[in-house]
Structure 1
Amino acid sequence: MSDFARLSNRPNAPAVLWLVGLTCIPEAMFTLLGADLIGQGNLRQVAMVYGAFWNGLISAGWEALYPFQREVMFLSYAFLHGGFLHLIGNMMAVLALGGIVVARIGQQGFLLLYVLTSIGGAAGFALLSSSTAPMVGASGAVFGLIGAWKFWEWQLRRHTGAAMGPLWRSLAGLAGLNVLLWLLLSGLLAWEAHLGGFLTGVAFAAIVTPSLRYRI
């Protein structure tokens, strides 16, 4: 068994399951309630207008539709998705990674990491993207979980003297996957949010778990 396998896991932690369930609610509502809700057109479109991340509110001086929209959208976008496939892909990743995070920093730590990396993903998009299209999805947080996970793998490999090659190859593969998806999606991949979330996750793990013995 490899050193990497020694990273503990707590699958099906309540905080992870509740977060996934909460994130699934909007997409379920969009599907079940359909169009023309209370005369405001398609419900998904209404949610995007009010909850997606809009770069124009920051970089182009657009007028907010409600108080603190500029601040709220740094988190609300992570609970909206472009469809069931988008949602399922992200939530499967959260379920797979959430147990590793909970095992290391507990359920409250997992929720804090998820929130901060969602914000970090939005910040990355705001700083690096010039797009004025709405940005939605939990992938910024997903890459934040990956960032923390990879930091802990690096930490473990350094502690045990294990080779770092597999870690660097996995990171290269992650970068390559983003490039491939960006090409397949004709540039509609928010890689900026992925990068922002990943770096936030690495920074969070480095600060709150500076050693293998330290757990919050």
Structure 2
Amino acid sequence: MNTRLRPLPLSGRPAPVVLAIAGLCAGLEIVFTLADLAGYSDIRRAAIIYGAFWPQLLGDWQPVFPGQRVSMFLSYALLHGSFLHMLFNMLILLHLGRETVMRLGQAGFVLVFALCAIGGGAGFALLNGGSAPMLGASGAVFGLFGTTIFWDVQRRRAVGASLSDPARMVGGLVLMNVVLWLMAGGMLAWEAHLGGFLTGALLARIVTPTPFHRHRNRAQRH
């Protein structure tokens, strides 16, 4: 018989490092939005030129500044195409960041966020054949989906619980990507979402191979 699990208890307030990343992304987008409204759209355009992920830079394009080929794997995750784009990503970040901080600490969260952003950029570079730049924190955010879902699967397997909930979550993410891709006319970086998700799941497997087995054994000893 399968066991049903309650969600892990998470503190109500996001950790300072999660708030800091969300605040940085929000602050940048507020500046760009206000500049757009004031007629200074060149400010956003310059940020995209210098900070977005340009897959052609991994080919025969020349960078605008030394190190851009490397820095773009992180900088793109701090920039967004619109206020709603940023708001959507940050709301998910604030929610999913709690469990990562709870398990790995604030430094661990920063590392996971950065590596998932890199994984998202790599996925986009490998799977996207277009010339448009890519920006947004969704690669890193989908990485947090990957870690959270992997940990949930791991926890359920440790106690013989049903995997239907994480399976539905994965199905929901796939459906959401299909719907958003159609709504955006194909201009959705699903490749970054996939790359980030797989990176996050892999990181969750590496950094916490059997946490719930350890917790269960510890509880039995006390």
Superposition misfits of 4+ residues, deviation over 4 angstroms: 34-37
Deviation of the 1:33 alpha carbon: 3.6
Let me know the Cα RMSD of the aligned residues: 1.8
By how many angstroms is 1:26 displaced? Answer: 1.4
**DSSP-derived class of the 1:193 partner:** helix
Preserved contact between residue 4 and residue 157 of structure 1 (Cα < 8 Å): no
Q: Deviations over 1:103-140 (max 9, x none)?
A: 11111111110000000000000000011101000000
Q: 1:9, 1:102 within 8 Å by CA — same for their partners in 2?
A: no
**Aligned residue number for residue 107 of structure 1:** 106
Say if 2:93 and 2:141, in contact at 8 Å, map to a contact too: yes
SS in 2 for 1:172: helix
Quick check: 1:8–1:103 contact (8 Å CA) kept in 2? no
**Alpha-carbon distance in 2 for matches of 1:30, 1:125:** 24
Per-residue deviation, 1:168? 1.2
CA-to-partner distance for each residue in 1:181-205, whole Å, 9 max, x for gaps?
A: 1111110000000000000000000
Q: Displacement, 1:48?
A: 0.4
Partner of 1:48: 48
Q: Would you say how many aligned residue pairs link Structure 1 and Structure 2?
A: 210
Mean alpha-carbon deviation: is it higher for 142-151 or for 103-112?
Answer: 103-112
Aligned mates of 1:31, 1:169 — CA distance in 2 = 36
Per the alignment, in what secondary structure is the counterpart of residue 98 of structure 2?
A: helix
Deviation of the 1:31 alpha carbon: 2.5
Give the deviation of 1:174 after TM superposition: 1.0
Deviates more, 1:103-112 or 1:81-90: 103-112
> Residue 8 of structure 1: CA displacement?
3.5
Residue in 2 aligned with 1:182?
Answer: 181
Give the letter for the 1:114 counterpart. F
Q: Identify the residue that residue 96 of structure 1 maps to in structure 2.
A: 95
Task: Give the superposition deviation at 1:152.
Answer: 0.5
Instruction: Name the counterpart of 2:122.
Output: 123
Give 2:10's aligned residue. Answer: 9
Aligned partner (choices 23, 26, 30) of residue 28 of structure 2? 26
Cα distance in 2 for residues equivalent to 1:143 and 1:45: 26
Kindly provide the CA deviation profile for residues 68-94 of structure 1, in whole angstroms up to 9, marking residues without a partner as x. Answer: 111010000000000100000000000
Give the distance between the partners of 2:23 and 2:93, measured in 1 at CA. Answer: 11
**Superposition pairs of residues 136-151 of structure 1, within 5 angstroms:** 136-151=135-150
Please give the TM-score of this superposition, normalised by the length of structure 1.
Answer: 0.92
**Corresponding residue number in structure 1 for 2:219:** none
Say if 2:157 is the partner of 1:193: no
SS at match of 2:211: coil
Shift of 1:96: 0.7
Counterpart CA distance in 1 for 2:49 and 2:157 is 46
Q: d(CA) in 1 for partners of 2:28 and 2:93?
A: 17
Q: Which amino acid aligns with 1:28?
A: I
Other-structure match for 1:68: 67
Report the CA distance between 1:4 and its aligned residue. 4.3
Extract unaligned runs of 5+ from structure 2: 216-222
